A = this chain, B = another copy of it.
Amino acid sequence: MEIIRIPRIMQQISEGHRLKCRSIGLVPTMGALHEGHLSLIKRSKCENDITVVSIFINPTQFDPNEDLDKYPKEVDSDIQKLKDAGVDTLFMPDAVQMYPDGFSSSIKVSGLDEKLCGAFRPGHFSGVSTVVCKLFNIARPARAYFGQKDFQQTQIIRRMAADLNIGCEIVVCPIVRESDGLAKSSRNIYLSSESRAAALVIYRALNAAADLIRSGESNAAVVKKKMNDLLVSEPLVSEVQYAAVYDPSTLDELSQISKENLLAIAIKIGETRLIDNMLVLI
Contacts and interface: CB of A to CB of B under 8 A. Distances in A.
Interface stretch (A31-39, A108-116, A208-216, A262-270): A108-116
Contacts of A19: 18-19, 21
Interface stretch (A99-107, A174-182, A219-227, A273-281): A99-107
Contacts of A164: 105, 107, 130, 133-134, 137
Given A18-B18, A19-B18, A19-B21, A137 B104 contact: no
A56 B200 CA distance: 54
Interface string A159-176: 110011111000000000
Contacts of A25: none
B11 A159 contact: no
Contacts of A167: 11, 137
A237 interface: no
Contact of A103 (B104, B105, B106, B163): B163
Interface in A84-123: 102-112
A11 B71 CA distance: 39
A180 B19 CA distance: 49
A231 interface: no
Contacts of A111: 104
Count of chain copies:
2
B109 A107 contact: no
Nearest to A14: B167
Instruction: Point out which of A109, A130, A163 has the most chain B C-beta atoms below 10 A from its C-beta.
Output: A163
A108 B105 CA distance: 6
A7 interface: yes
A257 B18 CA distance: 48
Interface string A68-82: 000000000000000
Contacts of A110: 104-106
A159 to B, nearest CB: 6
Nearest to A130: B164
Contact of A104 (B102, B112, B166): B112
A138 interface: yes
A24 to B, nearest CB: 14
A5 to B, nearest CB: 14
Interface string A119-142: 000000000011001100110000
Contacts of A137: 164-167
Nearest to A107: B107
Contacts of A134: 163-165
| Closest 7 pairs between A and B when the two form their complex, measured CB to CB | A105-B163, A137-B165, A104-B110, A138-B165, A134-B165, A105-B160, A105-B109
